[in-house]
Every structure is written in structure tokens, then in C-alpha cells.
Amino acid sequence: MNNKKYIFFIITALIVVTGGLFFYFKDTLFSIDSSKNTNIATENSNESIEVNTNQEVVFTGDQGYLLKGKLLKPAFEKEYKTLPDTLYNLEFNDRLFLVNNVDGAQKTYSLVAENTLDNLNSYQGTWEQKELITYLKLASQGAVEFPSYLGAMHIDYSLISTDEFNNKYQDYFIETVDNYGMSQLPYDVKNKIIDFYQSKEGASYRYKLKGKQTSADLIWRGALTGKDKEEVAILLNSTENSLDDKYILLVYACKSNPKDSYQEYYLVYNETFYNRVLLDRLKTTADGEEYIRDIYMNSNDLKRTEFDGVVIKQFNATDEVLVYSKDYDKLIKYHQTPLRKIEEEEEY
């Protein structure tokens, strides 16, 4: 009997010790250092807790805005009301820092990583960012919520990480002396050009200003296929031989309605040239007045196009004009010579 009591006592003691060790190691293995900036998963839940990261993001879209948040301290109501609801229209390559990145909450942003008055006072912003900086100073004092983002495109496409931006856009669209004008191209056109650069045909072409060329000579923007559309023609240089003037002209038409939030483009014309080329427009504006150049369209008389056209200029050559044809959904090239004269030249 005593042996049975002794065995029972030993078993009970082992259970108590084993249970204590289990809970000790359980607490040790699953303990959390709350000061670390990480996503934390608990043992019995799949939920993650995200903390502020001050992650830097870069704007790449066509339309993006930073908007006012709520007033948090009534003492700052006067300053708050003097600022517009839309604080800033974002531009390509604008850098922002995430302030609030908590899962499920609206994301907010700043121009600086550490939001102190000293940092904001020393921040060298543009004139267009003046109201945003004033608002951020209020936010840094806890007087208002930090600004939120509103854009025409999904945020995952228009605000991307710096690594993604550097890998995809940095080499092609950052403004430099030779690259001026490329940053202003529509989002979808930028991506179409990247696709072209990465193709077999486009691997040897890049955008580059030469000599006295300006971006207006190589990038054409206007309405080719419909009213208020923003369409693009661009001349790219061959990199095979720096001494040669070899270009390819790519023209992108917009298939979207001008009021659509996302503008989608498609290639409507391309041509290779073996001499220096300049681009011009049929429709120009000066002193608030619009001027339209009438052209020959396989005719003996000058005619007026419904929309704009791409004028192609080459040294010691007659101008040529690209005009959109609705019937064929393509651009038709017209030599700026009366039809009568063209026919006479063909006879000889």
C-alpha cells in the first residue's frame, strides 16, 4: 500500500514539473519584443499587426492628389480652414513617406521621414508644395491628421517602392539634359515605351536630344483621334552609331474616353527615318488664339482636318503630315504638295 502511495506521489510530481516546464518554454518561445518594427503573428491567430514604417514610395501615375485630413485640435481651426481640401497635385517621381500604415486604416503620407517642425522648416519644397508643407507642420504638432492620397489609378500602380521605381523608370524617365520631356508622358505610354525598349526591335533605340533639339521637336502631344484626347508621338534615336541620324517614330492613340480615370493607349503608327526629323503641329495657340494650318490631302486644294495632325519636317524636303483615318483606324501620310504636281512628277 505504501508503495502504491509512493508511486502515485512520484507520478503527480512529474506531471506538475512537466506542466511547469511546458508553460515556461511556451512563454519564452512566443514572447514578443514589441519595440521591433515587424509584423507579428500570435500563436492562435493569423492576424498581423502592422506598425508605422516611414516607408518611402514614389508617384508614377497620371493624376494623384494629397488631401486634408480631420481637424484634431480646435485651437488650430483658423489655420486649418485657410488651406484647400486638395493640398497638392502629385507629379511623376514625387517622393512620399508613409506615416500611418496600420492594416485596415487609411494610409497617410508626408514629405519627410521624421515629421518634426525642424525637418519641415528646412525642407526644400517647390512652390506648388507650399500649402502641403504648411499643412504638414500642423500635422506634426498633432493638430490635424496627416494627408491621405486620392488617385485615378489603383494605389499599387501609382505609388510604388523606390526599388521598383529605380528598376523600372529611373533610367528612362528621370529628367536630365538629354532626357528632358520624358517624365511628362502618360503612365500607359511610359509602359509601352519600356516594352518597346525591351523588345528585339527597340533594344537599340533610346530617347535623346541632339544638338539644338528640344523636347518639342521630338515629342508631339495633341488630339489626333478625338476631341480633348491627349495623344503622343515620339521620336527615338538609334544607339547603334552616334554619328548617324536614324530615328523611329512611334505614335500612340488613346482608346479611352477623355473623362475616364485611366487612359489606355495603343500604337497607331510607326516609321523609321534615316535623317534628322523634327515634329510640329497643325494646330497652334498664340496669345490666346488658335491657328490651324490647312493642308493638301491628296488634293489640289488645301483642306482643314477635323483634329490635329503630326507634321514631319526633314532638311531639304517637303513637309509630310500624319492625319487619323476613322475608317482604317490608322494615320495616313500626306505629302504637302498639290496632287496635280505629284502626278506630273510621277509621269517623268
pTM of the model: 0.79
Q: pLDDT grade, residue 250 (50/70/90)?
A: very high
Same-domain status, 201 and 216: yes
Contact in structure between 230 and 255 (CB atoms under 8 Å): no
* Whether pLDDT at 27 is above 80: no
Q: What percent of the chain has pLDDT over 90?
A: 63
Residue 34 pLDDT > 50, yes or no? no
Q: What's the CA gap between 183 and 37, in Å, rounded?
A: 35
Give pLDDT, residue 348: 63
Of residues 260 and 96, more confidence is placed in 96
Contact in structure between 231 and 223 (CB atoms under 8 Å) = yes
Residue where a domain stops, chosen among 159, 190, 222? 159
Whether residues 70 and 123 share a domain: the answer is yes
Whether 164 maps to a domain, the answer reads: no
Q: 283 and 339 share a domain?
A: yes
Q: For residue 10, is it within any domain?
A: yes
pLDDT in tens, 202-240: 999 999 888 888 899 999 999 999 989 999 999 999 998
168 has pLDDT over 80? yes
Residue 286: which pLDDT band, with cuts at 50, 70 and 90?
A: confident
Q: Residue 148 CA to chain centroid, in angstroms?
A: 18
Query: How large is the average pLDDT for residues 272-283?
Result: 93
Q: What is the pLDDT of residues 291-336, one digit of tens each?
A: 889 999 999 999 999 999 999 999 899 999 999 999 999 999 999 9
| pLDDT attached to residue 150 | 94
- Do both 142 and 184 map to the same domain? no
Q: How many domains does one find in the chain?
A: 3
**Do 176 and 167 meet the contact criterion of CB atoms below 8 Å apart?**
no
Contact 299, 334 (CB under 8 A): no
Same domain, residue pair 331 and 185: yes
Residue 103 pLDDT? 67
| Number of C-beta neighbours around residue 149 at 10 A | 20
Which of 255, 249, 234 has its CA nearest to residue 190?
Answer: 234
**What residue numbers bound the domain in which 7 lies?**
2-33+40-49
Question: Same structural domain for residues 6 and 148?
Answer: no
Do 139 and 273 lie in one domain? The reply is: no
**Band of residue 175 on the pLDDT scale cut at 50, 70, 90:** confident
How much is the mean pLDDT over the chain? Answer: 84
Average pLDDT over residues 175-181: 84
Three-state SS at 110 = strand
Whether residues 299 and 253 share a domain: the answer is yes
Quick one: 13 and 130 in the same domain?
no
Nearest CA among 220, 145, 172 for reference residue 60:
172
Q: What is the pLDDT of residue 202?
A: 95
Report the pLDDT averaged over residues 262-283: 94
Name the residue type at position 100: N
> What are the E-state strand segments in 131-242?
148-151, 159-161, 205-206, 219-222, 231-238
Is 319 within a domain? yes
- Look at residue 243 in the predicted model and tell me its pLDDT: 74
List C-alpha distances in Å: 253 to 169, 257, 264, 294. 22, 11, 9, 22
| Burial (CB count within 10 angstroms: exposed 0-12, middle 13-18, buried 19+), residue 183 | middle
3-state SS track over 38-54: CCEECCCCCCEECCCCC
Q: Note whether 26 and 65 are same-domain residues.
A: no
| Alpha carbons 19 and 45: distance in angstroms, whole number | 23
45 pLDDT tier (thresholds 50, 70, 90): very low
Residues 136 and 107 in one domain: yes
Q: Report pLDDT for 25.
A: 40
Question: Confidence band (pLDDT; 50, 70, 90) for 104?
Answer: low
**109-166 per-position pLDDT tens digit:** 999 999 999 999 999 899 999 999 999 999 999 999 999 999 987 788 899 999 999 9
